[in-house]
Structure 1
Amino acid sequence: MYEAGVVEATDFPADSRYHGIPTRSFTAPDGRQFPYLARRFAPPPEVFATIGWRQLAEGERLDQIAAETIGNPEAFWLICDANRALWPEDLAAAGTELRLTLPAGVPAPEEE
């Protein structure tokens, strides 16, 4: 469907880390076109509002924490972005302190 142009290659759900990332196209020497996603740059952690901290327990995974704190296990990448990690494995060691945040651009609630 990508090749036929029926489905836009950037048709990712709004909660996907790839939502809004443009597609590019590579033309091989034989003329074949290969669509691909442009590189995604993680936002700087400063754009995230901290809502808490959590120490990773032995055997715990980011998808479990994302399910518990965000409500979506597939949103583990938000935890990665907020902690400057490219890969979930970078935050997998027991005892790692995780910064839990709101999504980029969502301000923290005002304190009364």
Structure 2
Amino acid sequence: MFPESSRYYDVELATWQTASNQTIVYLQRRFLPSSQRFEIIEEHLVSEGDRLDNITANYLNDPEIFWHLCDANNAMHPDELTAQIGRRLRIPLT
């Protein structure tokens, strides 16, 4: 259902049956992995105008895998990572 590069690639599907016998398919809940499990290869100091897609393209050669930075930095919401100028982002080995 999701490409291998997706944050949700390994998340299992589940179903729910409504009272009117309609089947609804949904994703199981995905928990953030412990940031301690990541090997950090570098840090990035957030500057004015930084965007996660550009950061991941620069360090990880793929703008679509920004969620690796989210996981390595305990961020549920990607925008949190670049909201504070001067924040140090952990860049994980993927």
Aligned-pair Cα RMSD in Å: 0.9
Contact 1:23–1:38 (CA under 8 A) maintained in structure 2: yes
Residue number among 45, 59, 71 corresponding to 2:61 in the alignment: 71
Inter-partner Cα distance in structure 2 for 1:17 and 1:56: 23
Unaligned runs of 5+ in 2: none
Shift of 1:63: 1.0
Greater RCO, CA 8 A, separation 6+? 2
Per the TM alignment, residue 102 of structure 1 is displaced from its structure 2 partner at its CA by 0.9
- Structure 1 or 2: larger helix share? 2
Offset, 1:62: 0.9
Other-structure match for 1:88: 78
**Which piece of structure 1 moves more, 87-96 or 51-60?**
87-96
Q: How high is the sequence identity, in percent, across the aligned residues?
A: 38
In 2, are the aligned partners of 1:59 and 1:94 still within 8 Å (CA)? Answer: no
Q: For the residues of structure 2 that align with 1:91 and 1:15, how far apart are their CA atoms?
A: 20
Partner of 2:42: 52
State the 1:90 CA deviation: 1.2
Q: Distance in 2 between matches of 1:57 and 1:99?
A: 14
Query: Displacement, 1:68?
Result: 0.8
- Equivalent pairs counted in the alignment come to 93
Show the 5 A alignment for 1:90-105. Answer: 90-92=80-82, 93-103=84-94
3-state DSSP class of the match of 1:74? helix
How big is the shift at 1:46? 1.1
User: Structure 2: which amino acid aligns with 1:81?
Assistant: D
Choose 1 or 2 for highest CA Rg.
1
Once residues 26 and 94 of structure 1 are traced to their aligned partners in structure 2, the CA distance between those partners, rounded to angstroms, is: 43
Kindly state the Cα deviation for residue 89 of structure 1 after the two structures are TM-superposed: 1.5
Equivalent in 29, 35, 43 of residue 39 of structure 1: 29
